[in-house]
């Protein structure tokens, strides 16, 4: 684990590998950079691969009032500090929202965009936000994590994975979680999505109940050039539920994007 210092404060990150076009990994609202270890291990063998914490998460300094655009600005600053120009952006859930915001700020720096289990606007976003924030305030992050785990994962997820995810979510600062929840569930980025012209991959777990496949299909309608892949046997976190499939699909997409660049 390490931090890079920016004008927005310290930003925590994990890094593996070197060379190639870097791959940037962006986590969801209830996790941190550690959720990307299967991808750091896999893609770090062939290219520079970086997983970041948003402000207030993990090893990153908090920013009062942070928004999805604040996160995007902070991560571009972190990439500047690490000497990264162009990169592939891979975001899951909130990470997809942040990837869209990062593209809106600097489209010329995006080699490709990967949007996993995310959306442009969620039809039930306000209700999800209200429930999540109320629970974080009344029962605390650990109990919220325990209550949410069955909704996050497809049936059959291992007990070890469940425990890891609960522990990660339990450690999130409640104030930072509230900002992250607003950033994802209250997002409406329909206008920011349509200008995306770089190679785009849309991924979704077939059993995702939080951002169901219909929302990925709506993204595809807005991005006709995008490739849409549904990952069987995965819920909201296919990168850790079905890492071999997730990695194989992502590797094929990156190879194709770079071959055609």
Summarised one tens digit per residue, pLDDT across range 94-105 is: 999 999 999 999
> How many CA atoms, within 13 angstroms, populate the side-chain half-sphere of residue 220?
15
Contact 245/256 with Cβ under 8 angstroms? no
Q: What is the tens place of the pLDDT at every residue in 135-174?
A: 999 999 999 999 999 999 999 899 999 999 999 999 999 9
Q: What is the tens place of the pLDDT at every residue in 167-201?
A: 999 999 999 999 999 999 999 999 999 999 999 99
Mean pLDDT to the nearest integer, 219-244: 97
Distance CA 131, CA 56 (A): 21
Give yes or no for residue 261 having a pLDDT over 80. Answer: no
- Average pLDDT, whole number, for the chain? 97
**Could you give the angle at which helices 174-185 and 94-105 cross, rounded to 10 degrees?**
70
Mean pLDDT to the nearest integer, 88-93: 98
Give yes or no for residue 44 having a pLDDT over 80. Answer: yes
Domain of 128 in residue numbering reads as: 2-259
Task: Give the per-residue pLDDT at 8.
Answer: 81
What does pTM read for this prediction? Answer: 0.97
Which CATH number goes with the domain that contains 46?
3.40.50.1820
Contact 40/49 with Cβ under 8 angstroms? yes
Distance CA 75, CA 58 (A): 14
Contact 59/172 with Cβ under 8 angstroms? no
* ∠ CA 57-63-65, rounded to 5°: 110
Q: Give me the number of domains the chain comprises.
A: 1
Contact 12/53 with Cβ under 8 angstroms? yes
- The span from the first CA to the last CA of the chain, in angstroms, equals 32
Classified as helix, coil or strand, 15 is strand
């Amino acid at each position: 684990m390490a931090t890079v210092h920016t004008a927005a404060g310290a930003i925590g990150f994990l890094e593996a590998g070197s060379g190639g076009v870097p791959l940037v990994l962006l986590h969801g609202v209830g996790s941190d950079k550690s959720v990307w270890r299967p991808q750091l291990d896999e893609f770090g063998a062939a290219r520079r691969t970086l997983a970041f914490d948003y402000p207030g998460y993990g090893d990153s300094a908090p920013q009062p009032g942070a928004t999805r655009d604040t996160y995007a600005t902070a991560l571009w600053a972190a990439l500047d500090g690490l000497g990264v120009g162009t990169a592939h952006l891979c975001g899951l859930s909130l990470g997809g929202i942040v990837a869209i915001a990062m593209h809106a700020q600097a489209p010329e720096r995006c080699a490709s965009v990967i949007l996993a289990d995310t959306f442009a606007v969620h039809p039930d976003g306000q209700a999800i936000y209200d429930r999540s924030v109320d629970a974080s305030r009344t029962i605390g992050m650990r109990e919220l994590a325990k209550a949410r785990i069955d909704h996050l994962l497809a049936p059959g997820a291992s007990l070890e994975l469940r425990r890891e995810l609960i522990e990660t979510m339990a450690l999130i600062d409640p104030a930072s979680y509230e900002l992250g929840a607003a950033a994802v569930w209250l997002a409406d980025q329909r206008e920011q999505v349509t200008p995306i012209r770089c190679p785009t991959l849309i991924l979704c777990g077939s059993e995702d109940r939080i951002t169901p496949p219909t929302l990925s299909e709506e993204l595809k309608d807005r991005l006709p050039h995008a490739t849409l892949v549904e990952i069987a046997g995965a819920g909201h976190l296919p990168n850790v539920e079905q890492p071999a499939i997730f990695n194989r699909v992502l590797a094929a997409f990156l190879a194709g994007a770079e071959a055609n660049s």
